[in-house]
Amino acid sequence: MLQLKSQQSQLGSSAVSGSGSYNYKSFHLGNWTEISATCGGTSQTGFQAPINIAVDGADYESMPRTSWPKFRAKDGGCEEAYFAAKGTAWQVTFIDEDANIDCTNLEMEWNGKTYALVQFHFHTLSEDTLDFQPTEMQMHMVHLAEDGSFAVVGAMIKTKGWKKNRFLEDVFGAGFDSNRKVSLNGKQKFNPYDGVLQKSGEFWYYPGSFTTPPCTEGVDFLIAQSPVVTSHSYVASYMEYLKGSGAGNSYGQNHRPIQPLNDRVITTGRFSRGGAFPPCGKLDPKNLRLGGEA
Protein backbone atom coordinates (compact mmCIF):
# COMPACT_ATOMS: atom_id res chain seq x y z
CA MET A 1 0.00 0.00 0.00
CA LEU A 2 2.62 2.40 -1.06
CA GLN A 3 1.01 5.32 -2.65
CA LEU A 4 2.18 8.27 -4.63
CA LYS A 5 2.41 11.37 -2.53
CA SER A 6 0.51 13.24 -5.17
CA GLN A 7 -2.36 10.83 -4.77
CA GLN A 8 -2.70 11.33 -1.09
CA SER A 9 -4.48 14.63 -1.45
CA GLN A 10 -6.88 13.02 -3.91
CA LEU A 11 -7.49 10.19 -1.54
CA GLY A 12 -8.86 12.29 1.23
CA SER A 13 -11.66 11.44 3.54
CA SER A 14 -14.28 11.33 0.85
CA ALA A 15 -12.10 9.54 -1.73
CA VAL A 16 -14.44 10.54 -4.51
CA SER A 17 -14.04 8.91 -7.86
CA GLY A 18 -12.69 10.96 -10.69
CA SER A 19 -9.74 11.00 -12.98
CA GLY A 20 -6.77 9.44 -11.26
CA SER A 21 -8.51 8.64 -8.01
CA TYR A 22 -10.10 5.39 -7.03
CA ASN A 23 -11.66 3.56 -4.15
CA TYR A 24 -13.66 0.42 -3.52
CA LYS A 25 -16.84 2.11 -4.62
CA SER A 26 -15.37 3.27 -7.92
CA PHE A 27 -13.93 -0.22 -8.42
CA HIS A 28 -17.40 -1.58 -8.89
CA LEU A 29 -18.10 1.12 -11.44
CA GLY A 30 -15.11 -0.19 -13.35
CA ASN A 31 -12.80 2.80 -13.11
CA TRP A 32 -9.71 0.93 -11.92
CA THR A 33 -8.95 -0.33 -15.42
CA GLU A 34 -9.42 3.19 -16.75
CA ILE A 35 -6.78 4.42 -14.34
CA SER A 36 -4.41 1.59 -15.17
CA ALA A 37 -4.85 -0.96 -17.95
CA THR A 38 -2.62 -3.29 -15.94
CA CYS A 39 -5.51 -3.71 -13.48
CA GLY A 40 -7.40 -5.41 -16.28
CA GLY A 41 -4.78 -8.13 -16.41
CA THR A 42 -4.19 -7.56 -20.10
CA SER A 43 -0.64 -6.24 -19.99
CA GLN A 44 2.69 -7.68 -18.93
CA THR A 45 2.30 -11.08 -17.29
CA GLY A 46 -1.41 -10.91 -16.49
CA PHE A 47 -0.44 -12.13 -13.03
CA GLN A 48 -2.74 -10.04 -10.87
CA ALA A 49 -3.47 -10.37 -7.14
CA PRO A 50 -5.32 -11.52 -5.16
CA ILE A 51 -6.11 -15.10 -6.20
CA ASN A 52 -7.99 -18.12 -5.02
CA ILE A 53 -5.71 -20.81 -3.61
CA ALA A 54 -7.11 -24.32 -3.98
CA VAL A 55 -6.46 -26.19 -0.75
CA ASP A 56 -8.60 -29.32 -0.56
CA GLY A 57 -6.92 -32.04 -2.59
CA ALA A 58 -4.27 -29.66 -3.93
CA ASP A 59 -0.69 -30.87 -4.18
CA TYR A 60 1.79 -28.07 -4.72
CA GLU A 61 5.47 -28.51 -5.35
CA SER A 62 7.72 -27.39 -2.54
CA MET A 63 10.47 -24.93 -3.37
CA PRO A 64 14.00 -26.02 -2.38
CA ARG A 65 14.94 -25.36 1.22
CA THR A 66 17.67 -22.98 0.06
CA SER A 67 14.91 -20.73 -1.30
CA TRP A 68 13.02 -20.37 1.96
CA PRO A 69 12.72 -16.79 3.20
CA LYS A 70 14.50 -15.80 6.38
CA PHE A 71 13.09 -13.22 8.78
CA ARG A 72 15.16 -11.17 11.19
CA ALA A 73 14.22 -8.62 13.83
CA LYS A 74 17.24 -6.61 14.92
CA ASP A 75 17.09 -5.57 18.57
CA GLY A 76 13.81 -7.46 18.83
CA GLY A 77 11.94 -5.27 16.36
CA CYS A 78 10.85 -1.62 16.20
CA GLU A 79 10.22 0.50 19.28
CA GLU A 80 7.48 2.46 17.60
CA ALA A 81 5.43 2.63 14.45
CA TYR A 82 3.42 5.30 12.71
CA PHE A 83 -0.29 4.59 12.32
CA ALA A 84 -1.28 6.10 9.01
CA ALA A 85 -4.61 6.61 7.26
CA LYS A 86 -4.27 5.73 3.60
CA GLY A 87 -6.69 6.00 0.74
CA THR A 88 -7.80 2.39 0.81
CA ALA A 89 -6.72 1.06 4.19
CA TRP A 90 -5.02 1.85 7.43
CA GLN A 91 -1.40 0.96 7.91
CA VAL A 92 1.29 0.50 10.49
CA THR A 93 4.37 2.14 9.05
CA PHE A 94 8.05 1.70 9.91
CA ILE A 95 9.73 3.70 7.16
CA ASP A 96 8.29 7.05 6.08
CA GLU A 97 10.32 10.21 5.86
CA ASP A 98 7.28 12.48 6.12
CA ALA A 99 6.16 10.75 9.30
CA ASN A 100 9.71 11.06 10.64
CA ILE A 101 10.03 7.33 11.19
CA ASP A 102 12.83 5.14 9.91
CA CYS A 103 13.11 1.74 11.54
CA THR A 104 14.83 -0.82 9.34
CA ASN A 105 15.10 -3.46 12.06
CA LEU A 106 12.64 -5.83 10.39
CA GLU A 107 14.14 -7.68 7.45
CA MET A 108 13.40 -10.54 5.13
CA GLU A 109 15.99 -12.34 3.04
CA TRP A 110 14.35 -13.72 -0.07
CA ASN A 111 15.44 -14.54 -3.59
CA GLY A 112 19.03 -13.54 -2.82
CA LYS A 113 17.97 -10.06 -1.72
CA THR A 114 17.46 -8.27 1.56
CA TYR A 115 14.08 -6.63 1.98
CA ALA A 116 13.00 -4.13 4.62
CA LEU A 117 9.51 -4.29 6.09
CA VAL A 118 8.10 -0.89 5.18
CA GLN A 119 4.58 -1.28 6.56
CA PHE A 120 1.76 -3.69 7.22
CA HIS A 121 -1.95 -3.15 6.62
CA PHE A 122 -5.25 -4.98 6.68
CA HIS A 123 -7.96 -5.97 4.25
CA THR A 124 -11.45 -7.03 5.17
CA LEU A 125 -12.58 -9.47 3.94
CA SER A 126 -9.36 -11.28 3.06
CA GLU A 127 -8.18 -10.61 -0.49
CA ASP A 128 -6.94 -14.13 -1.22
CA THR A 129 -9.50 -16.88 -0.79
CA LEU A 130 -8.92 -20.51 0.19
CA ASP A 131 -11.16 -22.83 -1.82
CA PHE A 132 -13.10 -19.67 -2.67
CA GLN A 133 -13.73 -18.88 1.00
CA PRO A 134 -12.43 -15.57 2.32
CA THR A 135 -11.51 -15.13 5.96
CA GLU A 136 -12.73 -12.08 7.86
CA MET A 137 -9.47 -10.22 7.41
CA GLN A 138 -6.02 -10.45 5.85
CA MET A 139 -2.77 -8.82 6.88
CA HIS A 140 -0.22 -7.76 4.26
CA MET A 141 3.37 -7.06 5.25
CA VAL A 142 4.91 -5.01 2.47
CA HIS A 143 8.66 -5.48 1.93
CA LEU A 144 10.89 -3.44 -0.34
CA ALA A 145 14.41 -4.22 -1.58
CA GLU A 146 17.07 -1.81 -2.71
CA ASP A 147 16.45 -2.67 -6.37
CA GLY A 148 12.78 -1.73 -6.08
CA SER A 149 11.42 -5.29 -5.77
CA PHE A 150 8.36 -5.76 -3.59
CA ALA A 151 7.47 -8.88 -1.63
CA VAL A 152 4.30 -9.20 0.42
CA VAL A 153 3.93 -11.63 3.30
CA GLY A 154 0.27 -12.32 4.05
CA ALA A 155 -1.57 -13.80 7.00
CA MET A 156 -5.19 -14.94 6.95
CA ILE A 157 -7.13 -13.70 9.98
CA LYS A 158 -10.22 -15.41 11.37
CA THR A 159 -12.49 -14.44 14.24
CA LYS A 160 -13.46 -17.95 15.28
CA GLY A 161 -11.02 -19.76 17.55
CA TRP A 162 -10.16 -19.80 21.18
CA LYS A 163 -6.63 -18.47 21.01
CA LYS A 164 -6.62 -14.81 20.10
CA ASN A 165 -3.40 -13.58 18.55
CA ARG A 166 -1.70 -11.40 21.13
CA PHE A 167 0.19 -9.23 18.68
CA LEU A 168 -2.95 -8.30 16.75
CA GLU A 169 -4.88 -7.72 19.97
CA ASP A 170 -2.15 -5.26 21.01
CA VAL A 171 -2.04 -3.48 17.65
CA PHE A 172 -5.82 -3.21 17.26
CA GLY A 173 -6.17 -2.44 20.96
CA ALA A 174 -4.08 0.70 20.38
CA GLY A 175 -6.94 1.97 18.22
CA PHE A 176 -7.28 2.94 14.59
CA ASP A 177 -6.78 6.66 15.18
CA SER A 178 -4.23 7.69 12.59
CA ASN A 179 -1.35 10.03 12.00
CA ARG A 180 0.37 9.28 15.28
CA LYS A 181 3.36 7.36 16.53
CA VAL A 182 2.50 4.38 18.67
CA SER A 183 4.49 2.21 21.07
CA LEU A 184 3.11 -1.07 22.31
CA ASN A 185 2.54 -1.74 25.99
CA GLY A 186 5.45 -2.49 28.26
CA LYS A 187 8.71 -3.68 26.79
CA GLN A 188 7.14 -5.27 23.77
CA LYS A 189 8.42 -4.08 20.40
CA PHE A 190 6.73 -4.27 17.04
CA ASN A 191 7.74 -7.64 15.64
CA PRO A 192 5.00 -8.89 13.31
CA TYR A 193 7.17 -11.85 12.25
CA ASP A 194 7.10 -13.39 15.70
CA GLY A 195 3.66 -11.87 16.16
CA VAL A 196 1.77 -13.67 13.40
CA LEU A 197 4.09 -16.12 11.58
CA GLN A 198 4.85 -19.57 12.93
CA LYS A 199 8.61 -20.02 13.15
CA SER A 200 8.79 -22.71 10.48
CA GLY A 201 5.24 -22.36 9.24
CA GLU A 202 4.35 -23.32 5.71
CA PHE A 203 3.33 -20.75 3.12
CA TRP A 204 1.99 -20.64 -0.41
CA TYR A 205 3.94 -18.60 -2.93
CA TYR A 206 2.55 -16.96 -6.04
CA PRO A 207 3.66 -14.12 -8.31
CA GLY A 208 1.16 -11.26 -8.19
CA SER A 209 0.64 -7.51 -8.24
CA PHE A 210 -0.37 -4.54 -6.16
CA THR A 211 -4.06 -4.96 -5.43
CA THR A 212 -5.02 -1.35 -6.12
CA PRO A 213 -4.12 0.85 -9.10
CA PRO A 214 -1.73 0.90 -10.81
CA CYS A 215 -1.82 -2.87 -10.06
CA THR A 216 1.91 -3.12 -10.84
CA GLU A 217 2.99 -6.70 -11.46
CA GLY A 218 6.17 -8.50 -10.39
CA VAL A 219 5.21 -8.55 -6.70
CA ASP A 220 5.94 -11.77 -4.80
CA PHE A 221 3.27 -13.05 -2.42
CA LEU A 222 4.00 -15.45 0.43
CA ILE A 223 0.80 -16.41 2.24
CA ALA A 224 1.04 -18.14 5.61
CA GLN A 225 -0.94 -21.39 5.63
CA SER A 226 -1.78 -21.15 9.34
CA PRO A 227 -4.42 -18.50 10.04
CA VAL A 228 -4.40 -16.38 13.17
CA VAL A 229 -7.40 -15.37 15.25
CA THR A 230 -8.51 -11.92 16.33
CA SER A 231 -11.58 -10.57 18.08
CA HIS A 232 -14.68 -10.01 16.01
CA SER A 233 -15.04 -6.63 17.71
CA TYR A 234 -11.74 -5.44 16.20
CA VAL A 235 -12.80 -6.46 12.70
CA ALA A 236 -16.09 -4.65 13.25
CA SER A 237 -14.24 -1.55 14.50
CA TYR A 238 -11.95 -1.65 11.48
CA MET A 239 -14.92 -1.84 9.12
CA GLU A 240 -16.51 1.10 10.90
CA TYR A 241 -13.23 2.98 10.52
CA LEU A 242 -13.12 2.21 6.77
CA LYS A 243 -16.73 3.31 6.39
CA GLY A 244 -16.11 6.52 8.26
CA SER A 245 -12.94 7.38 6.36
CA GLY A 246 -14.49 6.59 2.98
CA ALA A 247 -11.64 4.15 2.32
CA GLY A 248 -13.84 1.07 2.10
CA ASN A 249 -16.98 0.26 0.18
CA SER A 250 -20.40 0.91 1.67
CA TYR A 251 -20.03 -2.25 3.78
CA GLY A 252 -16.75 -0.99 5.18
CA GLN A 253 -14.75 -3.55 3.21
CA ASN A 254 -11.50 -2.94 1.34
CA HIS A 255 -10.70 -6.02 -0.67
CA ARG A 256 -10.17 -6.55 -4.37
CA PRO A 257 -11.91 -9.63 -5.82
CA ILE A 258 -9.82 -12.62 -6.83
CA GLN A 259 -8.16 -12.48 -10.23
CA PRO A 260 -7.64 -15.21 -12.87
CA LEU A 261 -4.76 -17.56 -12.07
CA ASN A 262 -3.77 -17.74 -15.76
CA ASP A 263 -0.60 -19.83 -16.11
CA ARG A 264 0.66 -19.30 -12.60
CA VAL A 265 2.12 -22.11 -10.58
CA ILE A 266 1.65 -21.95 -6.83
CA THR A 267 4.50 -23.44 -4.82
CA THR A 268 5.05 -23.94 -1.10
CA GLY A 269 7.88 -23.44 1.34
CA ARG A 270 8.54 -22.79 4.99
CA PHE A 271 9.36 -19.58 6.80
CA SER A 272 12.67 -19.51 8.63
CA ARG A 273 14.49 -17.20 10.96
CA GLY A 274 17.93 -15.79 11.51
CA GLY A 275 21.08 -15.38 9.50
CA ALA A 276 23.43 -12.46 9.29
CA PHE A 277 21.98 -8.98 9.40
CA PRO A 278 23.16 -7.11 6.33
CA PRO A 279 21.76 -3.62 5.95
CA CYS A 280 18.90 -3.62 3.51
CA GLY A 281 20.64 -0.91 1.53
CA LYS A 282 19.36 2.43 0.49
CA LEU A 283 15.68 2.28 -0.32
CA ASP A 284 14.74 4.58 -3.14
CA PRO A 285 12.29 7.20 -1.84
CA LYS A 286 10.50 6.95 -5.17
CA ASN A 287 9.85 3.28 -4.49
CA LEU A 288 8.73 4.02 -0.95
CA ARG A 289 6.12 6.29 -2.45
CA LEU A 290 5.40 4.07 -5.42
CA GLY A 291 1.81 4.00 -6.42
CA GLY A 292 -0.36 1.08 -5.62
CA GLU A 293 -1.24 -1.09 -2.73
CA ALA A 294 -0.20 -4.63 -2.29
Q: Which is nearer to Zn ion, 189 or 259 (CB)?
A: 259
Going by DSSP bridges, is the β-strand pair 180-183/150-158 parallel, antiparallel, or unpaired? unpaired
Taking the complex as a whole, the smallest distance from the CB of residue 213 to Zn ion amounts, in Å, to 13
Asked if residue 50 has a cis previous peptide bond (ω within 30° of 0), the answer is: yes
Q: Which is nearer to Zn ion, 116 or 294 (CB)?
A: 294
**CA of residue 88 relative to chain centroid, distance:** 12
Q: Which is nearer to Zn ion, 189 or 294 (CB)?
A: 294
Contacting Zn ion (CB under 5 A), which of 95, 145, 215, 294? 294
Does 288 contact Zn ion by CB under 5 A? no
Judged by CB under 5 A, the number of residues near Zn ion is 2
Strand partners, 108: 71, 115
DSSP state of 77: S
Does 143 contact Zn ion by CB under 5 A? no
DSSP state of 199: T
Q: Judged by CB under 5 A, which stretch of 62-70, 264-272, 275-283, 286-294 contacts Zn ion?
A: 286-294
Between the two ends of the chain, the Cα-to-Cα distance in Å is 5
Interaction pattern, residues 91-130, with Zn ion; x per rule: CB under 5 A: ----------------------------------------
Q: Which is nearer to Zn ion, 172 or 189 (CB)?
A: 172
Tell me which H or E stretch contains 169: helix 166-173
Does 151 contact Zn ion by CB under 5 A? no
Of 21, 153, 140, whose CA–CA distance to 90 is shortest? 140
Of 194, 223, 198, whose CA–CA distance to 208 is shortest? 223
Coil/strand/helix, residue 171: helix
Greatest alpha-carbon pair distance for the chain in Å reads: 50
Q: Which is nearer to Zn ion, 157 or 294 (CB)?
A: 294
CA–CA gap between residue 46 and residue 260 (Å, rounded):
8
Taking the complex as a whole, the smallest distance from the CB of residue 88 to Zn ion amounts, in Å, to 8
Of 160, 163, 166, whose CA–CA distance to 137 is shortest? 160
Taking the complex as a whole, the smallest distance from the CB of residue 29 to Zn ion amounts, in Å, to 21
Q: Which is nearer to Zn ion, 86 or 140 (CB)?
A: 140
Does 157 contact Zn ion by CB under 5 A? no
Contacting Zn ion (CB under 5 A), which of 86, 140, 143, 189? 140
Q: Judged by CB under 5 A, which stretch of 48-56, 139-147, 217-225, 226-234 contacts Zn ion?
A: 139-147
Taking the complex as a whole, the smallest distance from the CB of residue 124 to Zn ion amounts, in Å, to 11
Interface residues with Zn ion (CB under 5 A) are 140, 294
